[in-house]
Amino acid sequence: MTTLLEKAGLALLHRIDPERAHHLSLLALRSGFMPLPGPVTSTRLATTLAGLSLPNPLGLAAGYDKNAEALPALMRAGFGFVEVGAATPRPQPGNPKPRLFRLTEDQAVINRFGFNNQGAEAIAARLAARPKGVPVGLNLGANKDSTDRAADFAQVLTICGPHVDFATVNVSSPNTEKLRDLQGPAALTALLQGVMQARAALPRPIPIFLKIAPDLTPAEIEDIADVALETGLSAIIATNTTLSRQGLSSIHKDETGGLSGQPLFQKSTRVLAQLFQATEGRIPLIGVGGVGNAEQAYAKIKAGASAVQIYSAMVWQGLSLVKEVATTLDQLLARDGHSSIQTAIGTESHLWL
Residue 155's pLDDT is what? 98
Q: Is residue 259 part of a domain?
A: yes
Sequential DSSP letters for 155-180: HHHHHHGGG-SEEEEE---TTSTTGG
Q: Convert the pLDDT of each residue in 233-248 to its tens digit.
A: 999 999 999 999 999 9
Q: Contact, 145 vs 205, CB < 8 A?
A: no
How confident is the model at residue 2, as a pLDDT?
65
The yes-or-no answer on residue 244 being catalytic is no
Residue 178: how many other CB atoms lie within 10 Å = 7
In a domain? residue 88: yes
pLDDT, position 5? 79
By residue range, what is the domain housing residue 96?
4-29+41-352
CATH code: domain of residue 319: 3.20.20.70
92 lies in a domain? yes
Flag whether 36 is in a domain: no
Any domain includes 35: no
Predicted pLDDT at 15: 95
> Can you give the pLDDT at residue 333?
98
Residue 34 lies in a domain: no
pTM of the model: 0.97
Average pLDDT over residues 333-345: 98
The domain tally of the chain equals 1
Beta bridge mates, 66? none
The mean predicted confidence, pLDDT, of the chain is: 95
With 70 as the cut, is the pLDDT of residue 1 above it? no
Question: Catalytic pick from 25, 146, 172, 173?
Answer: 173
3-12, 236-245, 252-261, 290-299: least confident range = 3-12
Question: How far is Cα 164 from Cα 286, in angstroms, rounded to an integer?
Answer: 18
Q: Quick one: DSSP state of residue 38?
A: -
Q: Tell me: the pLDDT tens digits for 115-154?
A: 999 999 999 999 999 999 999 999 999 999 999 998 999 9
